[in-house]
Chains A and B, each alone.
Chain A
Amino acid sequence: MEQTYPTATPLVRFVGVQKTYDGVIRVVKNLNLDIQRGEFVTLLGPSGSGKTTCLMMLAGFETPTSGDIFLGDQKLNTLPPHKRNIGMVFQNYALFPHMTVEENLYYPLKIRKLPNNQAKQKVERILDIIKLKSFAKRRPSQLSGGQQQRVALARALVFEPQLVLMDEPLGALDKQLREHMQLELRQLHKALGLTVVFVTHDQGEALNMSDRVAVFNDGIIQQIDTPLNLYEYPNNAFVAQFIGENNTLAGTVAHLSGDTCRVSLAHGAASGARVSDIKALNESTLLSIRPERIHLNEAAQALANRFTATIRDFTYLGDHVRVRCELLDNDQFYVKVPISDTLESLQPGMTVQLGWRDEDARALSKP
């Protein structure tokens, strides 16, 4: 395959990659993905969606059934994993329990037969970066989860690989520590100019850290985009459902012009919406509106799409209240309302006015 690219070559390229274990079910179906140098790309998806398989193919622990993977100019398919020069952070850290922190960090450098003084310099520098210099002589079992996580990261970085892979590295930490480590990882990525491929099933983590997120389902990338675009402009119903919270109303496309359309809903109601992946008039569609884009009563007065709904119950969440309403036969229709005095006048069973703008609703093809 001789192809030239006018712009800088991407660091990682998946070209038509497929993977099957049993010859029947394709875990990964026709994957095409380019990752640029210095990018933080997250592979996000439910378990069994093929994201980890993709990471393992990149690391070399799985081989693609068909298709090619490139790292820079090098074709990876036949290159054994230990020659790929890719750093990897494992879910359970996989720090060698019989070695100290320092010995763990020296390990990749010794294998590369780096002279002692250079190796020492690198290990000291990375220990400085992860702020664990005083723990160098300890064994991994004597460190806390967060510290082990930092050592695992340091070990994957110390030999300065072109690419760092992370397989749900924060999954074992508690929520507070996880958020702290997300921040630290993000800072390290910026400071060292790393290229990172990160696998997670936690959408909050993906949105928080990534330059781009690839949403996997059924072995296919459903959408790859910046966190903002994924959330605000989901390509299809799966992405809309998977990223963040989402209200859906079933309907059909009644009017279609460019990237806006009109969707007719149950009981003769209708709403304007942006077009995502619908293609034709009269197609059945899911109208999707984020809970925080819906306005209540007075705030809804000036909006193009107004509906009457019945309040079912409230969930108090400190900074806001989730109001569950019944709207057009959907009794799981949530509205996110900021804490305010008006809330106190609302009771379950009351009818309220709900409203949203055309551009806040999206018409998605029914899966």
Chain B
Amino acid sequence: MSAAMIDDLPKLKAQLRRAERLKKLKALALIAPLVIFLLLAFVFPIGTMLWRGIDNSEMQLALPQTAQLLQQWDGQNLPSAEVFKSLASELPSAQKSGALGKYGRRLNYEDPTLKTLMTQTLRKMPIEPPSDWSQTLPQINPRWSDPKVWQALKNTAPRLTDRYLLASVDVERNAQGDLQFVAPDKKVYLDIFQRTLIISGTVTLVCLLLGFPLAYLLATLPTGTSNLLMIFVLLPFWTSLLVRTAAWIVLLQSGGLVNNALIGLGIIQEPLQLVFNRFGVIVAMTHILLPFMILPLYSVMKGISPSYQRAAISLGAHPFKAFWQVYVPQTLAGVAAGTILVFIMALGYYITPALLGGPSDQMVSYYVAYYTNTTNNWSMAAALGSLLLIATLVLYAVYNHLVNKNPVRR
């Protein structure tokens, strides 16, 4: 290398860096609209929604000083007179600003009678501030001398809370702050999660059992025929989800096509209950999700040369054995992709179980919608949603791990 070339080296490196920086900037500029859209329409709203699952700011907004003081209180006996005074002085302004209303709803989750206690106390407050609020408040309502009331208030004081997440798995904190399961008659969510997993699992399994042979057929038929069949597979995609769901009601209801046909054939006497139960939910969900199983399977199977099975047969394997030992293992990537896709989509299903299921067939999403629309308890909705999201992410991680562990490269 000549001296001149060595001298040029730093210059060359700088040129290279500049060229690459320019390339990167161009690439970034190209994806910028998408990134911005995703941030605004996806990451931000979902983030704020999930935040509500652990957000506990109601008291800090309504009664900031009292909240701070209550957090320092050890929770034994009664809080100091200072806490009484702070509460009494902050209550009127909280009502004026409207923050007390939101806090009242929050208090309801702790104890439905506390909201009334607050408004009643506010009404009966003396105009001249007394010297010792710790005497006056219990005079207004004797409940203010009950430590349980103050403990309930203390629960609402911290900025963050795990009560919604815990409630989503039927767990609560007792008076000592230890975790315990809720009373058996209040236990609901574990059952709902279990039910969600069972329905999703069943739908995934049925999709796999129905989709695998169909995808195999599509992959092995001549192109013309398989294209036609593929249109039939995709046809449901082009119909509205609601229409498809409603169509199943028409088909499966007690005076519907299926029951009438079965009665007409003399197979049954009384109409079968085929819809508004678990059966109807699984049938309709399988129908709707089947393409998501078939498409990944098909794309993997299309790439598997028929000569693999022939090779196995020529080596002495019975055709069934060749299929099972040589063909099926090569489709595993497609099976994994289809299964995880269908399962994750099924986990979040809402409209189909809502329309086709009975009360005991509603899945987590139904309760998310219920808390959002009906009871306006967004925190609970967010907590349930978060758990669903976490379950999905865990499943995806497991899937990723399995796929990377057993790579079939071609």
Contact = CB atoms under 8 A, between A and B. Distances in A.
B330 A61 contact: no
B379 to A, nearest CB: 48
A173 interface: no
Contacts of A98: 329-330, 332, 406, 408
A82 B308 contact: no
**A97, A155, A159, A165 pick with most chain B CB within 10 angstroms:** A97
Contact of A111 (B310, B316, B332, B408): B316
Interface stretch (A87-95, A308-316, A325-333, A335-343): A87-95
B409 A111 contact: no
A91 B307 contact: yes
A146 interface: no
B389 interface: no
B230 interface: no
Interface residues of A, number: 30
Looking at chain B's contact residues, is the secondary structure mostly helix, strand, loop, or mixed?
helix
Given A90-B311, A92-B307, A94-B311, A85 B408 contact: no
B315 A155 contact: yes
**B312, B313, B322 pick with most chain A CB within 10 angstroms:** B313
B310 to A, nearest CB: 6
Contact of B330 (A84, A86, A90, A97): A97
Contact of B314 (A86, A91, A95): A86
A88 B408 contact: no
A196 B407 CA distance: 35
B321 interface: yes
A98 B406 CA distance: 8
A108 B316 contact: yes
A139 interface: yes
B409 A94 contact: no
Contacts of A85: 316
Contacts of A80: 319
B124 interface: no
A98 B410 CA distance: 9
A152 to B, nearest CB: 8
A107 B307 CA distance: 16
A67 interface: no
B326 interface: yes
B311 A88 contact: yes
A90 B312 CA distance: 11
**B315, B321, B332, B408 pick with most chain A CB within 10 angstroms:** B315
Contacts, number: 73
B102 interface: no
Contacts of A215: none
B311 A82 contact: no
A59 B409 contact: no
B312 A107 contact: yes
A46 interface: no
Nearest to A139: B409
Interface string B398-410: 0000000010111
B312 to A, nearest CB: 7
B310 A97 contact: no
A141 interface: yes
Contacts of B312: 96, 107
Contacts of A10: none
B318 interface: yes
A94 B307 contact: yes
B317 interface: yes
Nearest to B326: A96
Interface string B309-347: 011111111110110011001101000000000000000
Given A97-B410, A141-B409, A112 B308 contact: no
Given A92-B307, A94-B307, A98-B329, A112 B316 contact: yes
Nearest to B311: A94
B240 interface: no
B315 A107 contact: yes
B131 interface: no
A263 to B, nearest CB: 48
A88 B314 contact: yes
**B316, B321, B409 pick with most chain A CB within 10 angstroms:** B316
A304 B221 CA distance: 63
B310 A61 contact: yes
Interface string A162-199: 00010000000000000000000000000000000000
A16 interface: no
A159 B315 contact: yes
Contacts of B305: 92, 94
A145 interface: no
B333 to A, nearest CB: 10
Contacts of B308: 94, 96
Contacts of A90: 307, 310-311
Nearest to B316: A111
A38 interface: no
Contacts of A83: 316
Contacts of B315: 87, 107-108, 111, 155-156, 159
A147 to B, nearest CB: 15
B316 A97 contact: no
A97 B314 contact: no
Interface in A117-166: 139, 141, 155-156, 159, 165
Contacts of A97: 330, 408-410
B335 to A, nearest CB: 13
A67 B157 CA distance: 93
B314 A87 contact: yes
Contact of A82 (B307, B316, B325, B410): B316
Interface string A97-109: 1100000000110
Nearest to B317: A111
A81 B410 contact: no
A194 to B, nearest CB: 15
Interface string A51-90: 0000000011100000000000000000011111111101
Contact of B313 (A81, A91, A96, A155): A81
A237 B329 CA distance: 50
A166 B305 CA distance: 17
18 contacts: A60-B314, A81-B310, A84-B314, A88-B311, A90-B307, A90-B310, A91-B307, A92-B307, A94-B311, A98-B332, A107-B315, A111-B315, A111-B317, A111-B321, A141-B410, A156-B314, A156-B315, A165-B314
Interface of B: 305, 307-308, 310-319, 321-322, 325-326, 329-330, 332, 406, 408-410
3 tightest A-B CB contacts, nearest first: A94-B311, A108-B315, A88-B314
Given A92-B305, A94-B308, A155-B315, 16 more contacts: A82-B313, A82-B316, A87-B314, A88-B314, A90-B307, A94-B305, A94-B310, A98-B330, A107-B312, A107-B315, A111-B321, A141-B410, A155-B311, A156-B315, A159-B315, A159-B316
